[in-house]
Amino acid sequence: MLKPSPLFRRFLVSYLVILLIPSLAGYMSYRTSISVATSVSIENGISQLRSSQQLLERRMAEVEGFTRQLAINENLNQLMNEYATGGKTNVFGIWKSMQEVTTFGQTNDFLRHYFIYLRNYNVVLTPGSAYVRPEHYYENYHYRNMAFTEWKREIIGKTHQREMLPLHPFVSAGAGSTVMTYMQSLPLDSFSESSPAVVVVLIDQKTVSSLFSGITRSYGGWVRVGDSQGRTLSLQGSGAPDIPSLNRDPRFNPAKVTQHYKDDLVITIQSEKNGWVYQAGIPESALLEKANRIKAITWMFTGAALPIGLIAGLVLAYRDSAPIARLLGVFGQEGRQGRNAYDFLQGNIAEMITSNRKLEAELRRQQPLVRDAFYKRLIAGELQTREEISAAAIQADASLTGNAGYVALVKINGYSGMDNVEVLNELNAARLVLKQAVLEREGPVQMTDLGADKIVLLYLTEEGRENELTEERVHQGLHRLADEIFQEYKISVLAAVGGRFEALTEISHVYELAKQTLDHAVQTGSKTVVWYGESALDSATYYYPLDVELRLIGTLRAGELEEARRFIQTILQQNMEARELSAEMRGQLGLEIKGTFLKLLEQKTFAEADAFEQVKSRIIGLQPPESMETFRMEIDGIMAMLCGMVASKKNELHVRTVEKMKQFIMEHYTDTELTLYRVAEHVERPEKYVSQLFKDVTGTNMSDYLEQVRMNQAASLLKANSYTIDEISSMVGYNSSHSFRRAFKRVTGVSPSTYRQSMEA
Q: Which residue did the predictor score with more confidence, 135 or 337?
A: 135
Model confidence at 151: pLDDT above 50: yes
**What are the respective helix, strand and coil percentages of the chain, to the nearest 5?**
60, 15, 25
CB atoms within 10 A of CB 376: 14
CB atoms within 10 A of CB 88: 9
| CA distance linking residue 289 with residue 258, whole number of Å | 19
Q: Which residue did the predictor score with more confidence, 543 or 146?
A: 146
Q: What mean pLDDT comes out for the span 144-164?
A: 88
| CA distance linking residue 375 with residue 381, whole number of Å | 10
Tens-digit pLDDT profile for residues 248-263 = 788 888 888 888 888 7
Give the pLDDT score at 255.
81
Residue 617 contacts by C-beta under 8 Å, 6 or more apart in sequence? none
Model confidence at 328: pLDDT above 60: yes
Give the pLDDT score at 26.
63
Model confidence at 181: pLDDT above 50: yes
Give the pLDDT score at 2.
40
Computed over every residue of the chain, the mean pLDDT equals: 78
Tens-digit pLDDT profile for residues 690-725 = 888 888 878 888 888 888 888 888 888 888 878 888
Q: Does domain 44-284 have CATH number 3.30.450.20?
A: yes
β pairing state of 493-501 and 529-531: parallel
Q: Which residue did the predictor score with more confidence, 709 or 760?
A: 709
Kindly report the three-state secondary structure assignment for every residue of 561-584: HHHHHHHHHHHHHHHHCCCCCCHH
Contact of 717 with 754, CB cutoff 8 Å: no
Q: Using 50, 70 and 90 to split pLDDT, how confident is the model at 274?
A: confident
Tens-digit pLDDT profile for residues 522-539 = 766 667 888 876 654 545
- What per-residue string of b and e applies to 114-131 under the rule 16 or more CB within 10 Å gives b? bbbbbbebebbbbbeebb
CA 165, 171, 176: angle at the middle one, nearest 5? Answer: 105
Q: By percentage, how much of the chain surpasses pLDDT 70?
A: 83
Q: What mean pLDDT comes out for the span 285-295?
A: 70
Q: How far is CA 618 from the centre of its chain?
A: 43
Model confidence at 450: pLDDT above 50: yes
Tens-digit pLDDT profile for residues 605-619 = 677 677 778 877 877
Mean pLDDT lowest for which of 169-183, 410-424, 645-659, 666-680?
A: 410-424
Tens-digit pLDDT profile for residues 477-488 = 888 888 888 788
Pick the closest to residue 163 from 182, 150, 185, 189 (CA basis). Answer: 182
Model confidence at 335: pLDDT above 50: no
Give the pLDDT score at 327.
65
Give the pLDDT score at 580.
67
| CA distance linking residue 430 with residue 26, whole number of Å | 79
Q: What mean pLDDT comes out for the span 226-233?
A: 81
The verdict on pTM exceeding 0.75 is no
Residue 365 contacts by C-beta under 8 Å, 6 or more apart in sequence? none
Per-domain boundaries in the chain: 44-284, 669-760
Tens-digit pLDDT profile for residues 48-63 = 888 888 888 888 888 8
What is the four-CA torsion angle of 8, 9, 13, 16, rounded to 10 degrees? Answer: 60
β strands within 55-161, DSSP E? 114-118, 123-126, 129-131, 141-143
Q: What mean pLDDT comes out for the span 549-553?
A: 78
At 444 the three-state DSSP class reads coil
| CA distance linking residue 758 with residue 740, whole number of Å | 19
Q: What mean pLDDT comes out for the span 167-176?
A: 86
Give the pLDDT score at 535.
54
Contact of 432 with 485, CB cutoff 8 Å: no
| CA distance linking residue 320 with residue 328, whole number of Å | 13
| CA distance linking residue 210 with residue 527, whole number of Å | 87
CATH number of the structural domain 669-760: 1.10.10.60
Q: Using 50, 70 and 90 to split pLDDT, how confident is the model at 577?
A: low
Contact of 438 with 446, CB cutoff 8 Å: no
Tens-digit pLDDT profile for residues 374-429 = 888 888 777 767 777 777 777 777 777 777 888 888 888 877 655 667 777 777 88
Give the pLDDT score at 214.
80
What is the four-CA torsion angle of 355, 359, 362, 364, rounded to 10 degrees? Answer: -120
Mean pLDDT lowest for which of 460-464, 480-484, 678-682, 684-688?
A: 460-464
Write the DSSP string, 198-212: EEEEEEEHHHHHHHT
Give the pLDDT score at 123.
86
Model confidence at 178: pLDDT above 80: yes
Q: What mean pLDDT comes out for the span 426-434?
A: 80
Which range of 15-24, 73-82, 682-691 scores highest in mean pLDDT? It is 682-691
Give the pLDDT score at 22.
66
